[in-house]
Chain A
Amino acid sequence: MLVPANLLPVLSTESSGSNTSNTIVSGVIELWRQGLWALALIVFTASVVIPVLKVLGLSWLLLNARRAAPKNPRRLTKIYAALDFIGRWSMLDVFLAAFLAGLVRFGEFSTVTPRSGIVAFAAAVVLTMLATKAFDPRVLWQAAEAPHH
C-alpha cells in the first residue's frame, strides 16, 4: 500500500481556477520551497521516513525471530519498542487531509479535496500498526533461550 500511497495524489487544491494535485513527496517539496522547512521535515518524517522504517524494522525483527538464536535480543526488543512508539505519528497526514478538507472550502476561491492516495496511505498506516501489534517480542527471547544443537 505504500507504493500507491506515494505515487497517487493525496490532496488536490483548486484556487482561482487552477487545479494542483500533490503526492506526499511533492507536498513536502512545496513546503520546502515555501520556506516552511520545519514543517516539511515534520511531514516528511511522519509520512515517508516512519512508514518505511516500520516496514524495514518489522522485516528485520521477523527475520531474527526465525533464526535459531537471534543475536542481542535486548537490542531487538528496543527496536520493537521504538517501532511501536513511532507508528501512530504516521497518522499525521491522514488527520491533516481530513482537517484541510473540512476547512478549506471556499468554492472557486480555494478548495482542498482529498484524493485516492490518502486512502492507500491510511491503509498502509493501519496495516503496519496492526502488524506491529501482532508481533510478539517474546519470541525473540524464547528463540534465544531455546537449546541448540
Chain B
Amino acid sequence: MSPTHRLSCHVCGQEHRIVELLSGEKAHCVRCGAVLAERSRLGPDTALVFSITGLVLAPSAALLTFVSAGKLGAVRISHLFTGVGSLWEGGMRSLAVLVLLCGGLVPFTLLVVLAAACTRSRLGLVVDRLGALSRTAHVLEHWAIPEVQVLAVLVAFMKLGSVVNVKIGPGFWCYSAMAVSLLIAQHSFDSDFVTGPTRTNEPESAAPP
C-alpha cells in the first residue's frame, strides 16, 4: 500500500490504513482514541452545499442591519463591522484588525477555500489531504470564530436590554446562519476529505498498519 493510502493520526502520529466509512460511522485512532474521520449522515456533498450557503449569506450579514439600539428617541444602527470601525477610530487598531479577521475575513476566506476544495473533489480532481487547499483550511479554521461573535452579541443583547431598547436586525440572523453553515461545512469537509479520495472496501473503520 502506498504512503498516500495511509493516514497518520494528527494527535499521536499512529499510522492507519484508510478504509471506507458508512454514513454516520466514525474512525478512531487505535492508540490515542482521537476521531480520525467521520462519515456525514447528510451525504457526500454536505460540505459543498453548506459552504455555498455560507457564501450566499455572507454579503447580507455584512450589509444588513445587525442590531439597532434606541435611547431617549435617538436610534443607533450597527452593522457587522461597526465595532471594528469604532475600535479603529479609538486608536485600538490591532484589536480592530483581530476582530475583523476572526469575525469576518477569515470565516469568509475559509468558506471560499472549502467551496473550492469540495468543487475540485466533485469534479473528480484529486484533493490530497496535504494539499494546499486542505492545509489552508486547517490553518484558517483555528482563527475563524463567528460562533463566538454570535454568542457575544447575544450576551450584549441581554446586558443592554435594561439600559437601551435593542432590536436584532436581519444582518445578525444572516450572520448566525452563516456561522452554523460554516461549522457544518467544516465538520463535513474534514470527514469526507479524509475518507473520500482513497476508499477501499475493507470492513474495518480504522486499523493499525
Contact = CB atoms under 8 A, between A and B. Distances in A.
B74 A106 contact: yes
A110 B90 contact: no
B12 interface: yes
Nearest to A78: B33
Contacts of A55: none
Nearest to A103: B78
B164 to A, nearest CB: 7
A interface residue count range (under 10 / 10 to 19 / 20 to 34 / 35 or more): 35 or more
Nearest to A77: B32
Contacts, number: 137
Contact of B83 (A39, A92, A102, A138): A102
For chain A, what secondary structure do more than half of its interface residues adopt (helix, strand, loop), or is it mixed? helix
Interface residues of B, number: 46
Nearest to B151: A92
A141 B158 contact: no
Interface string B164-189: 10000000000000000000000000
B34 A77 contact: yes
Contacts of B67: 99, 103
Contacts of A127: none
B32 A102 contact: no
Task: Give the most central of A89, A101, A118: most B CB within 10 Å.
Answer: A101
Given A92-B155, A95-B99, A118-B92, 9 more contacts: A31-B159, A39-B155, A81-B11, A92-B151, A95-B149, A99-B156, A103-B76, A106-B74, A141-B14
